[in-house]
Amino acid sequence: MTDLVPLALLMGLATYPSRAIPLLASRFGRLPEPALAYLRLVGPAVLTALAAVNTVVLVETTPDGRRLPSFHVGIEWLAVLACLGVVLWRRNLLLGIVAAVGLVAAARAAGAA
């Protein structure tokens, strides 16, 4: 686990400039509207990609230490669909996430997942 600390520090150094530039440069208010719309969607797109990988890819470690990724279908898929449905219905992301987490927690408590 401690071997990940240098990697986390390196990633912080790599991503910090892209997060600090809007705070340091006031010219972002003058960007064209399509560029601003694009920049607003970069964060949610990255988070969605990370969530998708964690939902559909299961990584198993073999006895010899190799990591084997495999496609996974489970309760998490239903939770994503529930979240999406609640967000579209109520226009409330927090409520959608609470519904998804509650669904997964209930399924795991019942032994279904």
C-alpha 55/C-alpha 66 separation (Å) is 21
Instruction: Give the sign of the dihedral formed by CA 110, CA 70, CA 8, CA 42.
Output: negative
Q: Which pTM does this prediction carry?
A: 0.54
SS3 41: helix
Q: What is the pLDDT of residue 43?
A: 81
Nearest one of 60, 59, 58, 54 to 79, comparing CA atoms: 54
Sketch the domain layout of the chain as residue ranges: 73-113
Per-residue pLDDT of 41-59, as tens digits, reads: 888 888 888 878 888 888 8
Q: Please check the confidence at residue 24 and state whether its pLDDT lies above 70.
A: no
- DSSP-derived secondary structure letter, 23: H
DSSP string, 83-112: HHHHHHHH--HHHHHHHHHHHHHHHHHTT-
